[in-house]
Amino acid sequence: MKFKYLGTAAAEGIPALFCKCERCAEARRLGGKNIRSRTQAIVDGTLVIDWPPDAFMHMAQNGIDYTDIASVIITHIHEDHYYPQDFGTRRKWFAMLDDSTPQLDVYGSEDLFEQFMINVEKHQRQFPKDIPNTVNLKIVPAYETFTASGFDITPLPAYHGTAHPYIYLIEKDGKAMIYGHDTDIFYDEVFDFLSERGTKLNFVTLDCTMGTRTFKYHGHMSLERNVEVKNRLIEQGNADENTIFAVNHFSHNGYNIIYDEMKEAAGKFGFIVSYDGMEIEF
């Protein structure tokens, strides 16, 4: 599998839109890997994970043609991960689609439909009710594997601030990964599911919103808690020395979130540090 980080920040981005804190000022000064857009990813160029307000920019920067994309999986309905207003531009005159264009299937928890229709009702002129004919919302239950764009995908309950947030186990051609954003330390039942299933993980990407800050921000993790997740996955046989572990989804409220600082801190525990545009093949 080839995994690409399109965006790697929390909701406000880095530097944050309206912030003069020391970390945002340093990110502006340094540029490069320190400039982070809202979190999104793509696997093998076909499976998109999350749809933030920065999806258009990610398309332009990475040469992605969204008309070729048939499957999007959504972790949860916070706007930095699920911005359904964009789907309104699939309607007539905004998009010239032909018979070769795949329907866009958007997978997630039962929260998706309610949030989608809220936007339909709120933006009637810009977002008419015929949009569901071009965007197919598919509600997928936790722990039940489904197939999309050649991947076997299992939604797992996340510990986060919406009704039914998910993280995802994604498998294809004998390879397996966990996309662990946004969540606190995994629920015991999720660890137990992975242990009983005996899944061998090639790649794990974890929420590191707080950087090295140990403040207990429930619903997100820090490097300290990433280490706990990593150790447990290794202890129960789901990961080993060959598993690639990465940290992602950084906030300017976290500590040591400047790329070189985080690279040094995370490297001590065997984690690589994501940045916008980073690719990992496994």
Q: What is the pLDDT of residues 162-196, one digit of tens each?
A: 889 999 999 999 999 999 999 999 999 999 999 99
Hey, is 268 helix, strand or coil? coil
- For residues 116 and 123, is the Cβ–Cβ distance under 8 A? no
Strand 47-49 to strand 40-43: parallel, antiparallel, or no bridges (unpaired)? antiparallel
Q: What is the rounded distance in angstroms from the CA atom of residue 37 to the CA atom of residue 39? A: 6
pLDDT at 17 over 60: yes
Which pLDDT score is estimated for 119? 61
Chain CA centroid to CA 172, Å: 18
Which pLDDT score is estimated for 101? 83
State pLDDT tens for residues 237-271.
999 999 999 999 999 999 999 999 999 999 999 99
Which pLDDT score is estimated for 123? 53
Q: And the tokens for 131?
A: 């949009």
> Once rounded to an integer, what is the mean pLDDT over residues 112-125?
64
How many Cβ atoms from other residues are within 10 Å of residue 255's Cβ?
Answer: 17
- For residues 150 and 126, is the Cβ–Cβ distance under 8 A? no
Q: Read off φ and ψ for residue 270, nearest 5 degrees.
A: 80, 25
Average pLDDT over all residues of the chain: 92
pLDDT at 121 over 80: no
Q: What is the rounded distance in angstroms from the CA atom of residue 171 to the CA atom of residue 1? A: 9
Tell me which amino acid residue 82 is. Y
State pLDDT tens for residues 30-89.
999 999 999 999 999 999 999 999 999 999 999 999 999 999 999 999 999 999 888 878
Which pLDDT score is estimated for 132? 46
Lowest mean pLDDT among 54-63, 112-121, 184-193, 221-230: 112-121
Q: What is the rounded distance in angstroms from the CA atom of residue 69 to the CA atom of residue 72? A: 8
